Amino acid sequence: MESFINFTNQSQGRDRIFRTTQYACVLSKYLLRNSSARKELVVKLQSLESNMSSGRKLLRLGNTVNSIDAAKRTLQLSDPVLRLCLTMANLSRALYFTCDSLLWATNVGLVHGVDKERWSLNASRCYFLSLVMSLTRDVYTITQLMVQRTRDRQFQHKIDQHLNESPDVATVILPQLDAFVYLLIESLKSHPSVALDTLKNICDLFIPLDRLGLYRSNPGVVGFCGLISSILGIVSVLQPGLKIKP
């Protein structure tokens, strides 16, 4: 109970709840789209989704400053790849939140004469760039973990033992490929925070890809991926040890 209270007291935690509800509505609407008996429910889900989206925009009004502050911190990282990826990701996120705040102000009538479609696309572009840089960081981190593993003689012995215990696999699939997959899985198992962040970013990537027309899917895929990434986000907030660092 205490963990739940601490979670809901955080603005990030409330945003995760709103986001999970929003994408659950998107997925539910898609699954019920052909049910004539559920038209009234679909309308209610549409209204709830809209309310959750507006609520999230309100909760994120101060996130632009937070992202800029995070970019200042990542500029101090000694690793040049992490410094570039994380700084670009944070700056892109700051631009995304700026566009998002402008759209919120337009929707509530505080600002007039704004092309909402254009600024919505700009927000999606910034979000997409942020995810690409975050995924680049994930791939780089995974590569570093795998390199460290290969230098461990004890782990190298485990790989050789794995190949010897799976002769059928080794003859059908290239032994190098099998060893690579085994090394990848073991590296991710030993660092669940990296695995969780990578999966979350991959799921999130489908949202701007569809919005920008780079990879057309459907509302069902978008809703499912958004729901999964939202649940993973809740897990990372509830368990700080599963949040990737830096």
pLDDT averaged over 10-residue windows placed end to end, the chain, 246 residues: 62 89 96 88 94 89 91 96 97 96 90 91 97 98 92 73 61 63 89 96 97 93 97 92 88
Q: What pLDDT is recorded for position 182?
A: 81
Q: What pLDDT is recorded for position 109?
A: 87
Q: What pLDDT is recorded for position 35?
A: 85
Q: Which residue has the tokens 């309310």?
A: 51
The two structure tokens encoding residue 203 = 């799921």
User: Measured between alpha carbons, how far is 192 from 86 in angstroms, rounded to an integer?
Assistant: 19
Q: What pLDDT is recorded for position 51?
A: 92
Half-sphere exposure of 183 (CA within 13 A, CB side): 23
Q: What pLDDT is recorded for position 172?
A: 47
Query: Nearest Cα to 72, choosing from 86, 82, 62, 59?
Result: 86
* pTM for this prediction: 0.89
Backbone angles phi, psi at 77, to 5 degrees: -65, 145
Q: What pLDDT is recorded for position 218?
A: 92
Q: What pLDDT is recorded for position 225?
A: 97
Q: What pLDDT is recorded for position 240?
A: 86
Q: What pLDDT is recorded for position 170?
A: 47
Q: Where are the alpha helices (DSSP H) in the chain?
A: 2-9, 11-31, 39-59, 63-74, 80-107, 116-150, 153-165, 167-172, 175-190, 192-212, 219-238
